[in-house]
Amino acid sequence: MRAAYFTEYQGPINVENVDDPTPSNDGVVIKVGATGLCRSDWHGWMGHDSDVQLPHVPGHEFAGTVVAVGNGISSWKEGDRVTVPFVSGCGHCPECHSGNHQVCDNQFQPGFTHWGSFAEYVAIDYADTNLIGLPDDMDFATAASLGCRFATSFRGVIDQGKVSAGQIVAVHGAGGVGLSAIMIAAAAGAYVVAVDIDDSKLEFAKELGANATLNATTISDIPTAIKDITRGGAHVSVDALGSAQTSFNSVSCLRKRGKHIQIGLMTGDHAHAKVPMDRIVAHELEILGSHGMQAFRYQDMLDMIMTGKLAPQKLIGDRVTLSEGATALMNMDSFTSTGVTVINRFSA
Ligand SMILES: [Zn+2]
Ligand SMILES: [Zn+2]
């Protein structure tokens, strides 16, 4: 098969022919129909993720068709159209038994712990626990866009934040995660304040449901600005970027008993960012993370998409070939595009 492949961190990502994968006993092989480009792939290529072993094929948000099943698979067959969460739970550890596959002790992560979906085929373990059947009329590019940023935002806003109609939600950062969180919070009936440093992204945020926008390059005190326009602060605030500044702002803009949701990954110098712990005590704030979403929770999200309450397809930007996607991944840090880039052609 053709796969985008690298043999050293920060080295060239070349499209080459490699052996086709075969399914493990509890796994399947999926012919990739579409796969999204995500900043986590870039972190893996940079060498920031200790799960990534060389040589490596990136890619973790994808959808496609089952083409081979392992001997132990009972729920899936060739021809099924599917996607998987980027964190696939083993199904038999204490976390999975408690229904929290997103923090499984033995995670299978395509594109991190195993070769990923920047390829014609990808092998997935624990398939009975994690495969999600797609509605017939959902195209692969839309389904691919759910696997990481959209699902993690759905869990963050709906399951962790428990956002309800009439609440105020602040979203810090309007990239893929942030735009997803804005759309989901707006669909839940919240008043949404979006913060970014790029006016074009804030314009897009408005199209997706943001009620107010703030540009952090022109407003020095974002928490106070949010408290002013919301008369007291956000009930739920999301750091969708993952930085010391945005996480601090997110906690600081909450009203009493508010919830901060950390979705943006905190790496490098940002890993142990400063937190206003005094405010957490005095205002009884809650600090929560969101790390993917269990396969069994996808149905509610798919229902909201099929009834038109959510439209993840609006987040899709460029549709590119495998080799164009490999180039875009290497340049991800220097080039910011609006929306999610999706690879949907694998023969070029
Ligand atoms: Zn597990
Ligand atoms: Zn991702």
What is the pLDDT averaged over residues 237-244?
96
CA of 136 to the centre of ligand 1 (A): 29
Q: Nearest to residue 167, comparing CAs of 246, 243, 215, 237? A: 237
Q: Strand, helix or coil at 38?
A: coil
CA of 286 to the centre of ligand 2 (A): 25
Between CA 27 and CA 143, with CA 78 as vertex, the angle to 5 degrees is: 80
Of all ligands present, the nearest one to the C-alpha of 94 is 1
CA of 145 to the centre of ligand 2 (A): 9
CA of 39 to the centre of ligand 2 (A): 6
What is the pLDDT averaged over residues 68-97?
97
CA of 37 to the centre of ligand 2 (A): 7
List C-alpha distances in Å: 228 to 286, 290, 335.
Answer: 21, 28, 34
Of all ligands present, the nearest one to the C-alpha of 38 is 2
pLDDT tens for residues 7-27? 999 999 999 999 999 999 999
- The identity of residue 8, as a single letter, is E
Strand segments (E) across 144-284: 168-172, 191-196, 212-215, 234-239, 254-262
Of all ligands present, the nearest one to the C-alpha of 145 is 2
pTM above 0.75, yes or no: yes
What is the pLDDT averaged over residues 51-74?
97
Instruction: Note the pLDDT of residue 116.
Output: 98
Residue 339, pLDDT above cutoff 90 = no
What is the Cβ-side half-sphere exposure of residue 138, based on CA atoms within 13 angstroms?
29
pLDDT tens for residues 192-221? 999 999 999 999 999 999 999 999 999 999
Instruction: Note the pLDDT of residue 335.
Output: 65
CA of 111 to the centre of ligand 2 (A): 10
Gap between the Cα atoms of 315 and 338, Å rounded: 8
Residue with tokens 């980027």: 86
Give the sign of the dihedral formed by CA 293, CA 185, CA 175, CA 170. Answer: negative
Q: What percent of the chain has pLDDT over 70?
A: 99
- Ion ligand 1, residues whose Cβ is below 5 A away: 89-90, 93, 96, 104
Of all ligands present, the nearest one to the C-alpha of 108 is 1
Of all ligands present, the nearest one to the C-alpha of 36 is 2
Give the strand pairing for 212-215 and 191-196.
Answer: parallel
Q: Strand, helix or coil at 196?
A: strand
What DSSP character marks residue 19?
P
Q: pLDDT confidence of 297, banded at 50, 70, 90? A: very high
CA of 130 to the centre of ligand 1 (A): 11
Instruction: Note the pLDDT of residue 64.
Output: 98
Long-range contacts of 329-332 (CB under 8 A, 24+ apart): 329/4, 329/13, 329/37, 329/41, 329/42, 329/45, 329/58, 329/118, 330/12, 330/13, 330/45, 332/37, 332/39, 332/41, 332/42
